Structure 1
């Protein structure tokens, strides 16, 4: 059949760029499980260069359209360009914007283009490390636009919803919580592999405490703290290796800082790693000292790998799967306290996979189950004959 009814429904996701971040990985986890004969994902990216997931998107039948960011294109041009994509490349059943406080402008463009479902999604609990009074005023204005132009609001967790949409919307249950789901089968398989074999594959030391971190090199991830912590551990004579996976604009700066601190032998920079479940298998402890987060998917992935995690208390308690693996510590507690907690975490007993799987499913981190909820938000039925 060649009629329009036989074609898959198309959903347009609006992102900064489809590099390996929590929100982007969450989208891809659901995209991979979707029946693409019935629904297809397309993307507007603000990055002109090819991003990590772009080739896979295209291989799955999706499209990636480049639209410059508001800061580059200007506000009116930005709205017009998104509207033009929607009209010229559509029809689209839904638009799903993942750019936090800018999502209202994407929803406005979709409303002008006549798209029936328009979703604004919050993935963070803060805008910047030290917001000013005028930032709060600006955010209130942005909220009004989101509320006026969207048909649904989404958040990865309670704290992220309160940040972007306000407490009133959360108290009225006006925000759909859609946790950052993962592919459970990949972690089950990786957890059965040999740790020594995985360390050899990634070039990681076998006879050392391996402290792992996976994240983009942005200010909020607080990589300088991790390096100072590594320097403190080195002074104690503890045999260890700190492994950083990821890329980003601050990576070169962090590598230079590691060299200045004399940590070339203790710190390993892997760059972007596609097989995160296998990489997690190489770590002894996962450490995440972020300044702020939404609901970091990588922290869910670490617990799915049975890893003890030492994280900053700026990260929401919602990330705790109840497996006894998560310890939250103040960034002001000092490096000795962090080192002490890492030492304790190393001794933690790894939970069995059935317990991990049960905790993930109960808290909404199964990507397959979340896909069904997402399709309901899009008003797209995946049932035969509909």
Structure 2
């Protein structure tokens, strides 16, 4: 995870509690964990997951193990739960934070109400995407929550901020872009990376790192694979409910030997370093960390033209998918695979200028202490 050097520990710094819906591997959750790890030497930090049981989360995501004593899970049911608000309020009384930092609409509502009941002085909320506002019910919930709870609002990218501003019209909205650890995500030997992951060395390799869920668009990527040469393979990092269906699709398309399901990959820099091209054909996104991480490793990307894509895809090496057509995606993948090695350094330089993890952490520290 993060390797940012922190300021000297200070027991007088305020306790910060971050609240997420479900602490499982994903871009939002990785950002939360990076912020937690990079800032915990500076001030006491805790993470609360509304859903899930701690033992299950630790088994699913081994990277959480070093922080197990700073993580709490409330096992919230799928339906609205007053019991969860009660338990969360009691936990906040126990932890006595000066700041509660929520991520996404569910944690805003539960965390915001519990913060009021526990007399927490400051509520901060980060929006990681705005596509949930397309749902009229969720949009009204968000408007009501902002009006009643009055959090300090942050967006993780300028396009997300514009969409939130248009839909919700908050008085003030700050942008703190997601930052990546450029010391950890860097260029390295592709052959060594593939050997570590058990991937073939004599093929062109496209990669995708995302939860195996419908919104990530893996089915379109698999269709595009049928139009690419036999020496082009696909490596999928991630877990999710759609894996059996995607594996079945590979069988039907007769591409099983060319698609590698890697599951949860703990060494993500190694994954990116082994690729010739990275692709994220999502139906909706905010500012996905995987796009930043891949480019920091010098890997050109193809991404759906959603969320912050225009801002975070290197214009010299990257491609934007504007129509959900497998042949169009195939054309973009073919272009991406034709890049020469010298484009890799340019790709890395582009994303490192966008923002580092250190800059992100320092920006949040200012908001926490303001």
What RMSD in Å do the two structures reach over aligned CA positions?
Answer: 2.7
Superposition deviation, residue 98 in structure 1: 1.0
1:140-289 equivalence runs, <5 A = 140-164=140-164, 166-167=166-167, 169=169, 174-188=172-186, 191=187, 193-233=188-228, 237-289=229-281
1-structure distance, mates of 2:149, 2:247: 43
342, 357, 361: which one pairs with 1:367? Answer: 357
87, 94, 100: which one pairs with 2:99? Answer: 94
Partner of 2:366: 376
41, 51, 66: which one pairs with 2:73? Answer: 66
Superposition deviation, residue 246 in structure 1: 0.3
Partner of 2:88: 82
SS of the aligned residue for 1:311 comes to strand
Partner of 1:384: none
Does residue 127 in structure 1 map to residue 122 in structure 2?
Answer: no
Contact 2:159 2:307 in 1 (8 A): no
2-structure distance, mates of 1:35, 1:138: 33
Contact 1:245 1:272 in 2 (8 A): yes
SS of the aligned residue for 2:332 comes to helix
SS of the aligned residue for 1:181 comes to coil
Change (3 A) 1:322 1:258: closer
1-structure distance, mates of 2:352, 2:301: 20
2-structure distance, mates of 1:53, 1:352: 36
Contact 1:232 1:336 in 2 (8 A): yes
85, 105, 117: which one pairs with 2:110? Answer: 105
Partner of 1:50: 57
2-structure distance, mates of 1:266, 1:6: 53
2-structure distance, mates of 1:61, 1:36: 16
Runs of 5+ unmatched residues, structure 1? 381-386
SS of the aligned residue for 1:20 comes to coil
Residue-by-residue CA offset, 1:142-175 (whole Å, 9 max, x unaligned): 32212321430111113323444545647x5x11
Change (3 A) 1:318 1:39: farther
Give the alignment's TM-score, normalised by structure 2. 0.87
Of 218-227 and 41-50, deviating more is 41-50
2-structure distance, mates of 1:162, 1:101: 21
Equivalences, count: 359
Residue-by-residue CA offset, 1:79-103 (whole Å, 9 max, x unaligned): 222212111x211121111133551
SS of the aligned residue for 1:200 comes to helix
Contact 1:19 1:51 in 2 (8 A): no
